[in-house]
Amino acid sequence: MEELKKLAAMEAVKRVKDGMVVGLGTGSTAKYAIIEIGKMVREGMEIVGIATSLESERIAKEAGIKLADINDYDAIDITIDGADEVDAHLNLIKGGGGALLREKMVASCTRKEVIIVDERKMVTRFSFPLPVEVVKFGWKRTADKLASLNFNPQLRHGFVTDNGNYILDCHYEAMEDYRKLHDEINSIVGVVENGLFIDMADEVIVGTNDGVKKIKAEGRKNE
| Domains in the chain with CATH codes | 2-123+198-216 (3.40.50.1360), 130-194 (3.30.70.260)
In this prediction, residue 213 carries a pLDDT of: 96
Does residue 220 surpass a pLDDT of 60? no
In this prediction, residue 223 carries a pLDDT of: 47
Asked whether the CA dihedral 187, 191, 194, 199 is positive or negative, the reply is: positive
Does residue 222 surpass a pLDDT of 60? no
Of 11, 103, 113, 193, which one is the catalytic site residue? 103
pLDDT class of 219 with cuts at 50, 70, 90:
low
175 and 87 in contact (C-beta within 8 Å)? no
- What's the whole-number mean pLDDT along residues 68-87? 97
DSSP letters, the chain, are -HHHHHHHHHHHGGG--TT-EEEE--SHHHHHHHHHHHHHHHTT---EEEESSHHHHHHHHHHT--B--GGG-S-EEEEEE--SEE-TT--EE--TTS-HHHHHHHHHTEEEEEEEEEGGGB-SS--SPEEEEE-STTHHHHHHHHHTTT-EEEE-TT---TTS-EEEEEE-S----HHHHHHHHHTSTTEEEESEE-S--SEEEEEETTEEEEEEPTTS---
In this prediction, residue 221 carries a pLDDT of: 43
Asked whether the CA dihedral 13, 125, 1, 51 is positive or negative, the reply is: positive
- What's the whole-number mean pLDDT along residues 83-88? 97
What percent of the chain has a predicted confidence (pLDDT) above 90?
Answer: 96
d(CA 206, CA 117): 5
Q: Which residues of 41-68 are buried (b: 16+ CB within 10 A; e: fewer)?
A: beeebebbbbbbbebbbebbeebebeee
Instruction: Give catalytic status of residue 103 as yes or no.
Output: yes
Max CA separation in the chain (angstroms): 54
Cβ neighbours for 199, distance < 8 A, ≥ 6 positions apart = 90, 91, 217
